[in-house]
Structure 1
Amino acid sequence: MVQQIRENRSKFFKVKCPDCDNEQVIFEKASTVVKCVVCGRDLATPAGGRATLKAEIVQELK
């Protein structure tokens, strides 16, 4: 029998809010609107599969 190793194809991103410079971690495939916890600005909106990011990506987390 052949075993297949499944890689996780989804990522988390550390993003920086353009308004208040707060950094927070969001999921690449967010299914709801992600808001900044400090100022409330939308950082990501769902778009079918992957979310549309409206913030600067600081780091890709694995």
Structure 2
Amino acid sequence: MVRVNRENRSKFYTVKCPDCEHEQKIFQKASTTVECLVCGKVLAVPKGGNAEIKAEIIAQNE
């Protein structure tokens, strides 16, 4: 039996809101629109596979 070592290819990003500078974590492949929890600005929009991130990426977490 052959075992395939599957690694997690998805990532979480820590982003900073361009309006209020609040930092929050979002999923790389978000399937819904992600808004800032403080001011409501759109931070990511789903685009098929990976989401289009409209905020500054501060860190990449796995």
TM-score range, shorter chain: over 0.9
Matched residues, number: 62
Counterpart amino acid of residue 18 in structure 1: P
Superposed structure 1 runs of 4+ greater than 3 Å apart: none
Question: Which segments of 5 or more consecutive residues in structure 2 lack a partner in the other structure?
Answer: none
Note the residue ranges of structure 1 that are not aligned, 5 or more in a row: none
Distance across 2 between alignment mates of 1:50 and 1:15? 15
Q: CA deviation at 1:58?
A: 0.3
TM-score norm. by structure 2 comes to 0.97
Q: Give the Cα separation in 1 of the matches to 2:28 and 2:15.
A: 11
CA drift at 1:2: 1.7
% identity of equivalent residues: 61
Q: Which moved more, 1:16-25 or 1:1-10?
A: 1-10
TM-score (norm 1): 0.97
Counterpart amino acid of 1:28? Q
